[in-house]
Structure 1
Amino acid sequence: MEDFHWTQLFNPEFYITMEIGGVPIGIYMVLFIVFAETGLFAGFFLPGDSLLFLAGIYSRELVETFFIIPSDLSNVTVLALLIAAAGILGNIFGYWFGAKSGQFLYNKKDSFFFKKKYLTESQVFFERHGGKAIIFARFLPIVRTFVPIIAGVVHMQKGKFMLYNILSSLLWSFTLVFAGHYLYGMFLEELGIDLKKHIEKIILILIAITTFPLVMKAIKSRKKNESGNAT
């Protein structure tokens, strides 16, 4: 921590390898960040996808903070489940906060930790995709922070919210954690490429893949509206 610079706050590896007095606390930081980014509106600037992908690479070191698991598959699975649980709890808190805060957020002034435009954009996204927005939002930075809050504001049915919440958390965590773990091993052994040095590029590609269907749907919807207005 002696060489700490504020820019490290945006580097997922900084949290994963963090120690206090020689004691590793990476797993606690990962779980807290997942909770904060999916449940606290102030957590939108924290690393999400890149953190999970890199956590998959460091899965053994992270899980061994709690217990040693000889099986590689079991090790990665336990990590993915822990992260999914943190994501579920984060969304529950976000939903509760949205339900209790009501219109307060819409009247709140912008600050470093809060941007009203993110809230508005997330509401449009939620209204367009309904309950499935919770699943799509998991793979979209910033949007995943505000969508559960919006769900609470509009008082989405709790049972329906929990179903999408659990499904999205499991899908998000298992996809990125497993991808990070097994792609790292494959690229390092087969091609001699260290994915740790290309983490941000990989995450940008993942975001592009997950948002492509949404972009295409938005384009089609816009063309449909334009043709409707023309007639």
Structure 2
Amino acid sequence: MHETVLAFDPLGSAGPVTVWVVVLSFVFLECAFIVGLFLPGDSLLLAAGVVLAAHGHELSAWLLSGAAVVMAVAGNQVGYLVGRFTGTRIKLRKGGRILTRENLDRAGRFLDRWGFWSIVVARWVPWVRTLAPMIAGAARMDNRKFLLANLVGAIVWVPGLVMLGYYAAGLLDRVPWVKDVAVVASVGFFVVGTAYGLFRYVQEMRKPVDEVDATRPSE
């Protein structure tokens, strides 16, 4: 007698290619452009690790980590160049919750105080992760120094979260139903987080622009 098991299989239904495309595109967008302030990059990397663990794709998890490191470095480099050539003329919003002068100033003080290490640590702080490269570019931070910090931060951040999700989910092999719940919860959290983030982005864009120039002077 064969028992039929019905389980949620996001990787099997969407396909590994879809997982790769979603992860790589989101990592790049979050690191390169303002919309990244509203995207759940951390939860996406964790979710990718959990989903791949559910299918025993360890090699795929490591390969995805490597590819995502490249996209994270490229994304931050784009943000740096945007800041360098535009002076981070960010359209701040009056009454906003993310694109505010206070957050821009806080990110600037963080960069001024910690320099090289601010770019490394910024990987773990969602909204600073997006603003720091632009501010570093506007402040004319040495490009080689920035690139090294960018690379170190990405190497720690991306594989750290993907493989944390992968191996943490692997510990649940002895309790299959808990593992299934973890997969569903991870994917669900990412989907809901993305939808909520895009909703917040639209709401933020509807607020009036702060007319005061947001450019940080070059050093």
* Equivalent residues, number: 176
AA of the residue aligned to 2:27: V
121-130 or 137-146, which moves further after superposition? 121-130
For residue 85 of structure 2, the aligned residue among 93, 100, 103 is 100
Q: Which has the higher contact order (CA 8 A, sep 6+)?
A: 2
Q: CA deviation at 1:75?
A: 2.1
Structure 2 partner of 1:52: 45
Q: Where has structure 1 moved over 4 Å in runs of 4 or more?
A: 15-19, 197-200
Structure 2 distance, partners of 1:187, 1:23, is 22
Instruction: From the superposition, tell whether residues 192 and 50 of structure 1 become closer, same or farther in structure 2 (CA, over 3 Å).
Output: same
For residue 35 of structure 2, the aligned residue among 28, 31, 42 is 42
Q: CA deviation at 1:183?
A: 0.4
For residue 145 of structure 1, the aligned residue among 113, 116, 130 is 130
Structure 2 partner of 1:182: 167
Aligned alpha-carbon RMSD (Å): 3.3
Matches within 5 A, 1:198-213: 199=186
Instruction: From the superposition, tell whether residues 188 and 115 of structure 1 become closer, same or farther in structure 2 (CA, over 3 Å).
Output: farther
For residue 183 of structure 2, the aligned residue among 191, 196, 205 is 196
Structure 1 distance, partners of 2:92, 2:176, is 50
Matches within 5 A, 1:37-186: 37-59=30-52, 72-102=57-87, 104-105=89-90, 108-110=91-93, 114-186=99-171
TM-score by structure 1 length? 0.66
**Identical pairs, percent:** 29
Structure 2 distance, partners of 1:102, 1:18, is 44
Q: CA deviation at 1:18?
A: 8.8
Matched residue of 2:89: which SS? helix
Q: Report Cα offsets for 1:131-175 as digits up to 9, x if no partner.
A: 101111101111101111111010110110111111111111110
Q: CA deviation at 1:43?
A: 1.4
The answer for unaligned runs of 5 or more in structure 1 is 1-14, 63-70, 204-231
Structure 2 distance, partners of 1:50, 1:191, is 22
Structure 2 distance, partners of 1:78, 1:142, is 26
Q: CA deviation at 1:58?
A: 2.4
Structure 2 partner of 1:65: none
Whether the 8 Å contact between 1:42 and 1:114 is mirrored in structure 2 is: no
Structure 2 distance, partners of 1:17, 1:142, is 32
Structure 2 distance, partners of 1:16, 1:185, is 16
Q: Report Cα offsets for 1:104-142 as digits up to 9, x if no partner.
A: 22xx34187844433222111111211101111101111
Structure 2 distance, partners of 1:167, 1:96, is 19
